[in-house]
Structure 1
Amino acid sequence: MSQDPWAEMSDEKHRVLGFRAAEPEEALAHFTGRLRFETDPYDVNADLTAGLTGFVVLDVRRRPAYDAEHIEGAVHFSHHDMTPRTLAALDPAPVYITYGWGPGCNGGTRGAAKLAAAGLRAKEMIGGLEYWQKGGYPTAGSGTGSDAESGAGSGLGVGARVGVGAAATTRTGAATAPAATTGCCI
């Protein structure tokens, strides 16, 4: 509980309080900062269920994983296909909510970083599809549903509808995600 970081890092007796707790204003900045970058399945589902707009849910995993199962209404846009050119066609108005498979997958982080690099607002849905499923929230996949409604099959190509939780927008020029043999996003 010293000001010396080496003493704090070496304190084997005090696991919880070995590092001094942050002062309230420092903690507030940290936690509200995290909430500006992250959301979770409960909050995304609550806002979708309430019909709130202003955000688009993007599944940034590879196409086979999306086709097998994805958040109901999520748009497929693999982080592998995100380039300055493909991202330039996205509507800058909504916040893009990215997700990958789960906590062991950083695809959602990669997608959000690429969106931000392109000047778009993004948040990562922590927990990914794994925690969406654990919450019992609606999913789609396995070849069911309309490709025209979800953007599946077009890779968000010319005129694809982008509109989960947001007014429909369109983008052009994205290539279909490369085939992959695993459900992992990387």
Structure 2
Amino acid sequence: MVVVRNIGIFLDRDGVINEVLSKRVKFVNKPKDFYLLDGVGEAIKRLNDAGYKVFVVTNQGGIGLGYMKETALHDVHDKMKADLAEYDATVDDIAYCPHKPHSGCACRKPEPQMILELAKKHDIDLAKSYMVGDREPDIEAGKKAGTKTVLVGNREDTEADADFYFSDLLSFTEWLLK
């Protein structure tokens, strides 16, 4: 059995955990707009059971742009936690960047600050950890933080140079736990 102590799985939120830019959701600004993607609850539960620490790192520029308030983001994250709880799955911590796109802040992906701060707070070995995202900024942030990188989904607008590619979070989880 592989010992996974101090290994983190850093997950982008939109497009990895929940629907975005889908038929029923454009952006997730309210809890009613939050829908788990198929297999996510099971995937996170399996990661939990295997001893991995699971984190969410998400750019939420809608706050800086005025499309949502931070309290609404917390409500969305409460909905995410409740939806995951239906699978007996949990995330260990959530970090988010509330700044506008192109604001030059240190926390917005592709910068690695959110990952680095969570790793320090939770004593995570970044070299053994994974950043899972659906876009190039996620992959760049993971590389800058020193994690292995995983691109999920089939977005045609992404040219990310990830270490691994999977159709979704559950496929990655199944591979990781083999």
- TM-score (normalizing by structure 1): 0.36
> Bigger relative contact order, structure 1 or 2, given CA contacts below 8 A and separation 6+?
1
- TM-score (normalizing by structure 2): 0.37
